[in-house]
């Protein structure tokens, strides 16, 4: 197993967190484009093809293309950004999540060298961590899994940082223990957890009860991480409030109701 770079870090903030990472000379990180918040001098960034883990070395150009192409299926780019400390002293670099939430540091080596996570939760990782697609074997998971269908597999031995919405809860499942949750609330899990999507309730409860017809069913043993506010749910709520305002409905938490600021102050 390829050893990833060891890094030292500090997570700042509460509900809108960012992580500051210290890089020794010649140490490097990989991250999704747009995640970087700030960085010291002597840290250079470069666009790399794939995840930079080196697992496609020796497979030729086609092997590298196929390896990087797996990221496209998960909705990510073919390329990632590498940050390397080119100086002679330790330097800091920081990464922030794209919406309010928590940053979850995970040492992949502590969980058998593999973590399965939501495709949009990956923030950054020590170079050497491989980032691949994780298909679910059950067809029902693919048809009804929503956010939980196409997930990412992080492999290696080093630190990775995930970002999740709202509050993050870690739960250990005993062998045979079953736990059900909304597919969007699943942030990550160890590869020992059996994951499926099953129908719950009935059509009436799904249409009028406010909950989904399908839930993720997780069977232990293993560890899972959950988020209280998936971004999709957050975005739907904002869109719903915006539509109420456009239609002249009563705005939530606003004394102005559906009146826009432009209408209140005039169009000038």
Per the CB < 8 A criterion, the answer to whether 2 and 53 are in contact is yes
Query: What's the pLDDT at 184?
Result: 85
Q: Name the residue with higher pLDDT: 242 or 84.
A: 84
Q: Are the beta carbons of 251 and 257 closer than 8 angstroms?
A: yes
CA–CA separation, 94 vs 47, rounded Å? 17
CA distances from 27 to 30, 92, 164, 238 (A): 11, 11, 26, 40
Q: What is the pLDDT of residues 109-158, one digit of tens each?
A: 999 999 999 878 999 999 889 888 876 555 454 444 444 457 889 999 89
The answer to whether the CB of 83 falls within 8 A of the CB of 29 is yes
All domains of the chain in start order, with CATH: 8-237 (3.60.160.10)
Q: What's the whole-model pTM score?
A: 0.77
Backbone angles phi, psi at 72, to 5 degrees: -65, -35
| Residue 165 to residue 234: CA distance in whole angstroms | 9
Q: Over the stretch 190-207, which tens digit does the pLDDT of each residue have?
A: 999 998 877 766 656 555
| Cα–Cα distances in angstroms (integers) from residue 150 to residues 110, 140, 252, in the given order | 24, 12, 34
Each residue's pLDDT tens digit, 8-48: 899 999 888 999 999 999 999 999 888 999 999 999 999 88
**In DSSP terms, which residues pair with 134 in a beta bridge?**
151
Estimate to the nearest angstrom the gap between the alpha carbon of 75 and the chain centroid.
12
Check: CB of residue 163 under 8 Å from CB of residue 121: yes
């Amino acid at each position: 197993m390829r050893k990833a770079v060891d890094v030292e870090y500090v997570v700042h903030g509460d509900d809108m967190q960012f992580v500051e990472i210290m890089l020794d000379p010649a140490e490097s990180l990989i991250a999704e484009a747009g995640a970087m918040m700030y960085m010291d001098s002597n840290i250079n960034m470069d666009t790399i093809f794939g995840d930079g883990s080196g697992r496609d070395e020796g497979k030729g150009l086609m092997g590298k293309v196929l390896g990087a192409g797996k990221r496209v299926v998960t909705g990510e780019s073919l390329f990632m950004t590498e940050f390397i400390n080119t100086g002679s002293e330790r330097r800091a670099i920081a990464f922030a999540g794209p919406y309010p939430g928590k940053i979850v540091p995970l040492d992949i080596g502590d969980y058998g060298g593999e973590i399965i996570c939501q495709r949009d939760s990956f923030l950054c990782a020590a170079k050497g961590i491989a980032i691949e697609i994780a298909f679910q074997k059950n067809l029902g998971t693919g048809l009804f899994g929503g956010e939980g269908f196409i997930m990412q597999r992080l492999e290696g031995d080093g630190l990775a940082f995930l970002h999740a919405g709202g509050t993050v809860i870690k739960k250990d499942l005993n062998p045979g223990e079953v736990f059900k949750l909304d597919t969007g609330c699943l942030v990550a899990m160890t590869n020992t957890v059996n994951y499926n999507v099953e129908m719950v309730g009935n059509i009436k409860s799904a249409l009028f009860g406010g909950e989904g017809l399908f839930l993720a069913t997780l069977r232990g043993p293993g560890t899972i991480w959950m988020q209280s506010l998936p971004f999709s749910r957050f975005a739907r709520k904002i869109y719903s409030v915006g539509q109420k305002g456009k239609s002249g409905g009563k705005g939530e938490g606003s004394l102005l109701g559906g009146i826009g600021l432009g209408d209140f102050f005039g169009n000038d």
